[in-house]
Amino acid sequence: MPKIPGRFYYLFGKPIKTKGLEKILNDKDMSQALYAQVKRVVETNIAYLIKRRDEDPYRSFVKRVVFQAKTSTPWDKVPTFDP
């Protein structure tokens, strides 16, 4: 049985500057350090989104539809959160 579509949770984190780090490509230790930094940031952002998803009162499709039915127009957006 197909699932009812859920909400998408996404977050664009701060850019990780790599300009001028071309020598990392040839240095295994430095490239692993950069990889670890990127991995840590991505994991932190994913954990944050999972936490916010679990706290989302409009996560359920039914709750979103009911909210839209109660608002003045069917095109009103369901509330979301600011990161």
Which pLDDT tens digit goes with each residue over 25-67?
788 898 898 899 999 999 999 999 999 999 988 888 788 878 8
Q: Where are the alpha helices (DSSP H) in 1-83?
A: 28-55, 61-70
Residue 5 is given by DSSP the state P
pLDDT of amino acid 75: 63
pLDDT higher than 80, residue 21: no
